[in-house]
């Protein structure tokens, strides 16, 4: 499984670890949902391969938010991501954020409702899963809704790797 964020925040870039923002609930959600078997934090991101997970970002440039990302950064990032997925061949690509998923798959339908979870599309041969962005900036999902989405990811993993 490859977890894909949109781009690193300032704290992530500063300390060199993924999902490191003080208000980011990513690591807590991974454990509480049962995706990983023990509590881990941002400094433990290098341990993800122990459970068969990789992590990357679409755009490598750190920003406080996504509003300053340029269209050409998305295009270049998508090319890089496609190469990574073709090279590593994950069974599942998990887009961490509805905005990220929409940026890649349905620019024309950005305003339509989207259900998080497993999607119909594939990405370079991999199944596609969408999680809500666990950043504290995301007011579109409650913690309970985020946890339910992460639990559905854990359920998918357990049925495909039991």
- pLDDT tens per residue, the chain (162 residues)? 999 999 998 999 999 999 998 889 999 999 999 999 999 999 999 999 999 999 999 999 998 888 889 989 999 999 999 999 999 999 999 999 998 998 888 755 556 678 899 998 899 999 999 999 897 777 789 999 999 999 999 999 999 875
- Could you tell me whether strands 117-123 and 54-57 are parallel, antiparallel, or unpaired per DSSP bridges? unpaired
Contact partners, residue 33, CB within 8 Å, separation at least 6 = 147, 150, 151, 153, 154
Strand partners, 84: none
CATH H-level, domain 7-53+60-160: superfamily = Uracil-DNA glycosylase-like domain (3.40.470.10)
3-state secondary structure of 14: helix
- Which of 92, 161, 97, 98 is closest to 123 using CA atoms? 92
pTM for this prediction: 0.92
- In the chain, domain spans: 7-53+60-160
Tokens of 104: 């890649």
């Amino acid at each position: 499984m490859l977890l894909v964020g949109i781009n690193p925040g300032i704290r992530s870039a500063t300390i060199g670890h993924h999902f490191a923002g003080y208000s980011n609930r990513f690591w807590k959600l991974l454990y509480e949902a049962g995706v990983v078997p023990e509590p881990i934090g941002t400094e433990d991101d290098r341990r993800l391969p122990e459970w068969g997970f990789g992590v990357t970002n679409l755009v490598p440039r750190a920003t406080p938010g996504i509003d300053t990302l340029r269209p050409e950064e998305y295009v270049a990032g998508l090319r890089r991501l496609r190469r990574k997925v073709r090279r590593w061949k994950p069974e599942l690509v998990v887009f961490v954020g509805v905005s990220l998923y929409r940026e890649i798959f349905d620019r024309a339908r950005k305003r339509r409702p989207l259900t998080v979870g497993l999607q119909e599309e594939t990405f370079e041969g991999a199944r596609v899963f969408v999680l809500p962005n666990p950043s504290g900036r995301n007011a579109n999902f409650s913690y309970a809704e985020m946890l339910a989405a992460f639990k559905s990811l854990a359920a998918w993993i357990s049925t495909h790797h039991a």
